[in-house]
Structure 1
Amino acid sequence: MAMVSSRLVFLVSICILVSQAIAQPDFLDHFCSDDKGNYTSNSTYKANLNQVLSSLSSNTEIDYGFYKFSYGQSPDKVYSLGLCRGDAKPDICRSCLNNATNLLPLLCPNQKEAIGWYDYCMLRYSLRNIFGIMEDTPAYDMGNTSNLSGNLDQFNQDLGTLLNSKRVQAAAGGSLRKFAEGNATAPNNQTLYSLVQCTPDLSDKDCSECLAQAFGYIPGCCGAKQGGRVNTPSCYFRFEVYLFYDAKADNASSPSLSPPPPLVPYVSPPPLNNTAAAKGKESNKSQTVIIVVPIISFVVLIIISFCIYLRVRKPREKPQSESMDEIGRVESLQLGFGTIKVATDDFSDANKLGRGGFGVVYKGKLFDGQVIAVKRLSKNSRQGDLEFKNEVLLVAKLQHRNLVRLLGFCLEGIERLLIYEFVPNGSLDHFIFDPIKRAQLDWGRRYKIIIGIARGLLYLHEDSRLRIIHRDLKASNILLDFEMNPKISDFGTARLFELDQSVGNTIRIVGTYGYMSPEYAMHGQFSVKSDVFSFGVLVLEIISGRKNNSFCSGENIKNLLSYAWKNWKQGIISNLIDPTLKAGSTTEIMRCIHIGLLCVQQNVANRPTIASVILMLDRYTITLPIPLEPAFLMNSGTESNIRLQWENDTRVIESNQSKSNFVKASINEVSITELSPR
């Protein structure tokens, strides 16, 4: 009983500490990474973490607001960064960091990597070296609750000019501080204030790029708002129509910025002596004890119950009928049909970019000059409504340089429109499978595309606040921007996983034949390794310039995977390389082919995770495993278990092992989707 009581008291103490800290006005948000490993309370990593956080919070010599400490030996070495807002005075800075060093380990009690954002400071720690490395995810964004009135276009133009000028100024800062603040005149005689800051261990280029990426969040979080902010691990910015920072800390006329209240440690109250109270000379004392004891017990019971509830509760699955209500919560992204109609010149054929599995994509231009891509979903498609809900609810929460950014949507009558950033160079398949255009992609660009796709997948699988399985990764769903950087698009078939979920099952299998993993195509099992399989096919296509299903039976080769394997076994893998790649690192190309073959292994366990793939691509010191025979070879023995037939222009794959499962797979690489959005 005593042990239970002590644990309950400890749990209550933790709850009170956390509630006190989170209730402070300058606390914003935090992020705990479950994918970078966990530690126990008595581990070496925990001891090193305590040491490095103690060094950070107790340091009184640093007065420029940037703290960088590490402690311990690998693999338990801890790296920590603390950054205070550039206008914060030393006492405000230290008070904020002291609060953060107390609170963050409570919010992330076992995770080896975490980040916490406050109004006046940022704290992060990790088991990996984070010094001098630009990272723009995860991100925290928040818009002002007040909407703008008046000339929105002029406001956006003034804001962009101000932020970009401050970005240049901050990036030019030194190794102690990269910070800039300033103001500009806005419409309606308003003054627009902004500040931007990077961790000063970044290079000028990385600081500028980090802020540019952060500015890209504005349409999603702060469009048509009087203010907003975006915080990332390496940089942040904020803007408002009122003065929110200390323009001159040594000027008495400047606004007074009071330091946030310190985190008060919880101290258990002394035990009440009921006997003494009952014998007190004043009867009101006895009454006080009699009344207070039940009240305290009741309050403690409520707190304990609430803490236990928070600890054991499971997220409640939202019924399908709530999907449209959720869309209403992102009203800031909603655009009127008339606006899009004007932007696309009434959806004219001249603006048509292409046709997908659910409708036509048009190029458009908003009244503020921004070029957009508009996906107009088919009016007669039942799947179109489902895809619409899926993409809006999922993609609106995803922000990464290698993902196509959703700018808005339109839900009006029977119209379903998705508005994306315009990516000028179109899709990857228009280059690598075109005998003329493929020459524009030298090996350097193809390698950059492979790396970018891998990083986009890593964000979906591990680094975003959600865990997303794309399920339809292919060349036509990779778009290329001005600099030929890849952006993963088309999330209509994507599925959301719980962070601790590893495998999902479905009886409605969707996607594109030739990119599907065998366990998904035949049994409806999908996971992050399903996307890895598709990535492997894509890598081999990028290197060879040939589609996976472009081989005819006359060649005695059924697909690109079997062709690659045949040449791998015979030691003539150079036959797989696109002849237009006249110059390039042969060693690098061969390594990418090796990695591609590892990704398309029949056995799920033999495929690497996308995080491992990125390590293999970045570090040549890592020895690669020897690949086994890839999946879907027609002479591998699986042919006897699979019956192929044509049915209404759809290839149906039926496995003798699972008669209830079937696959709808496109014959022209247009995705067919049967959605079960979560």
Structure 2
Amino acid sequence: MGSCFSVRIRADSPRHNGSNSRYVSVDTKDTSSRSSNAIPLTPRSQGEILESSSLKTFGFIDLRTATRNFRPDSVLGEGGFGCVFKGWIDEHTFKAAKPGTGMVIAVKRLNQEGLQGHKEWLTEINYLGQLYHPNLVKLIGYCLEDEHRLLVYEFMPRGSLENHLFRRSSYFQPLSWNLRMKVALGAAKGLAYLHSPEAKVIYRDFKTSNILLDKNYNAKLSDFGLAKDGPMDGKSYVSTRVMGTFGYAAPEYMATGHLTARSDVYSFGVVLLEMLTGRRVIDKNRPHGEQNLIEWARPYLASKRRIFRVMDARIEGQYSPTGALKAATLAVKCLALEPKYRPNMEEVVKALEQLQDTGSVKTEVVQNHILTCAESRMAAPYPRPSATPVVAA
């Protein structure tokens, strides 16, 4: 299985370090708070967070045994937090089980020399220990023993959306148009729940590597280490450090540190555009003029005739021109530079629900559609997305 959690890279600011910087951290005042009518209430001390969660407490020896002593061939992925390992536990006792028996789990182990560390470990427990939704990955429990800090999740057998979009291998087959729209809808529902009055959480790190897929390609959001409480007491935004992944973070958040739910909407637009084009938002391996996906694709996204020039060649013939244009238009709305012009996530969900039934083509018109795509390709001044391998970060 490929990487479930992508590596984040720290930088002072992309404006100072260039567009290769993917993980940004700029200090400003953090004034986030949570009101008493929001559910769940966010505790502040470590003791309160651990006591308020309904998570299982694991011993380090049990998790070491469950992952076969954290063997390298058990690694599912690696990120700034540390490595993620595949393991097995008894579904009743939660004790370590023999490989291939019991319940499969994913165990994320804190890299003790990592930059993110304990704070993000605790943040994940804080949110995933209290938030429950079909489109959020399930956190089963944690381990806090001496210097060891680990998190235990449900296992997601299809891995990350990032792998299916960008990794060329026999294991990760290109997702069809219908599956891409299904994944987009599931991820949108997860974000809509986080933004709802019930949760009132800003995710802050929405990207393809944090969208995991179960065996039926149901999308679930993972990695809540950067999540923040939404604005309260009449405030329109949270002032906080700029944290996230360069390319996905909203421009107003990068510039000011002002975080709103519409910041997540921008990130969703980036991911939706990646799903439509099969390209990474920032790719230095592309020719000059195509390295920034949003700048390259934007001129083609509003035209039913020109949209085919940027669509992923691997899904040719699977979508209708109307469906492609509707999806592209939704991405453009989410990517509006002014946050007030972006839709909220409930509106995004409704738009994607409509696309589930109307976006694909019928079998009898597939060949004609492919011919139309070929003709459009011949007239295109820009080359279509290539099928050359792109190495995941």
Are residues 1:533 and 2:266 paired? yes
Measure how far apart 1:382 and its partner are.
5.7
Q: Which residue of 2 aligns with 1:372?
A: 105
Structure 1 residues 502 and 349, CA gap change in structure 2 (3 angstroms):
same
Provide the aligned length of Structure 1 versus Structure 2: 308
Task: State the superposition RMSD in angstroms.
Answer: 2.6
Distance in 1, matches of 2:103 and 2:36, equals 44
Q: Which residue of 2 aligns with 1:459?
A: 193
Q: Is the 8 A contact 2:135 2:190 kept in 1?
A: yes
Measure how far apart 1:536 and its partner are.
0.2
User: Is the partner of 2:196 in helix, strand or coil?
Assistant: helix
Q: Is the 8 A contact 1:336 1:410 kept in 2?
A: yes
Are residues 1:336 and 2:70 paired? no
Distance in 2, matches of 1:339 and 1:456, equals 31
Q: Is the 8 A contact 1:374 1:417 kept in 2?
A: yes
Q: Is the 8 A contact 2:203 2:226 kept in 1?
A: yes
The one-character-per-residue Cα deviations of 1:314-362 (angstroms, maximum 9, x if unpaired) are 99x9885x22333134365211112211111111112111111110000
The one-character-per-residue Cα deviations of 1:556-600 (angstroms, maximum 9, x if unpaired) are 234111111122367511111111113323221221111001101
Structure 1 residues 350 and 594, CA gap change in structure 2 (3 angstroms):
same
Distance in 2, matches of 1:554 and 1:332, equals 48
1:69-80 correspondence runs (5 A)? none
Q: Which residue of 2 aligns with 1:574?
A: 308
The one-character-per-residue Cα deviations of 1:463-493 (angstroms, maximum 9, x if unpaired) are 6x32111101101111111011111100000
Q: Which residue of 2 aligns with 1:491?
A: 224
1:130-279 correspondence runs (5 A)? none
The one-character-per-residue Cα deviations of 1:61-108 (angstroms, maximum 9, x if unpaired) are xxxxxxxxxxxxxxxxxxxxxxxxxxxxxxxxxxxxxxxxxxxxxxxx
Distance in 1, matches of 2:165 and 2:192, equals 23
Q: Is the 8 A contact 2:133 2:193 kept in 1?
A: yes
Q: Is the 8 A contact 2:55 2:140 kept in 1?
A: no
Measure how far apart 1:618 and its partner are.
2.9
1:317-328 correspondence runs (5 A)? 320=44, 322-328=45-51
Are residues 1:357 and 2:91 paired? no
Distance in 1, matches of 2:267 and 2:42, equals 30
Q: Which residue of 1 aligns with 2:29?
A: none
Structure 1 residues 407 and 557, CA gap change in structure 2 (3 angstroms):
same
Measure how far apart 1:503 and its partner are.
1.1
Distance in 2, matches of 1:419 and 1:431, equals 24
Q: Which residue of 2 aligns with 1:133?
A: none
Measure how far apart 1:415 and its partner are.
0.6
Q: Is the 8 A contact 1:439 1:580 kept in 2?
A: no
Measure how far apart 1:515 and its partner are.
0.2
Give the % identical residues: 35
Q: Which residue of 1 aligns with 2:338?
A: 603
Are residues 1:589 and 2:347 paired? no
Are residues 1:613 and 2:348 paired? yes
Are residues 1:543 and 2:276 paired? yes
TM-score if structure 2 supplies the norm length? 0.73
The one-character-per-residue Cα deviations of 1:371-416 (angstroms, maximum 9, x if unpaired) are 1000001113463110111110111111111110000011111111
Structure 1 residues 318 and 479, CA gap change in structure 2 (3 angstroms):
closer
Q: Which has the higher contact order (CA 8 A, sep 6+)?
A: 2
Q: Which residue of 2 aligns with 1:393?
A: 126
Q: Is the 8 A contact 1:352 1:363 kept in 2?
A: yes
Distance in 1, matches of 2:300 and 2:52, equals 54
Q: Which residue of 1 aligns with 2:246?
A: 513
Distance in 2, matches of 1:456 and 1:509, equals 22
Q: Which residue of 1 aligns with 2:182?
A: 448
Q: Which residue of 1 aligns with 2:27?
A: none
Question: For residue 410 of structure 1, what is the amino acid of its counterpart?
Answer: C
Q: Is the 8 A contact 2:67 2:88 kept in 1?
A: yes
Distance in 1, matches of 2:163 and 2:266, equals 22
Q: Which has the larger radius of gyration?
A: 1
Structure 2: segments with no counterpart, 5+ residues:
1-34, 92-101, 356-390
The one-character-per-residue Cα deviations of 1:486-527 (angstroms, maximum 9, x if unpaired) are 111000000012566541111x21111010100111111111
Match of 1:481 among 214, 224, 238: 214
Measure how far apart 1:440 and its partner are.
3.7
Structure 1 residues 553 and 370, CA gap change in structure 2 (3 angstroms):
closer
TM-score if structure 1 supplies the norm length? 0.43
Q: Is the 8 A contact 1:442 1:583 kept in 2?
A: no
Question: For residue 181 of structure 2, what is the amino acid of its counterpart?
Answer: Y
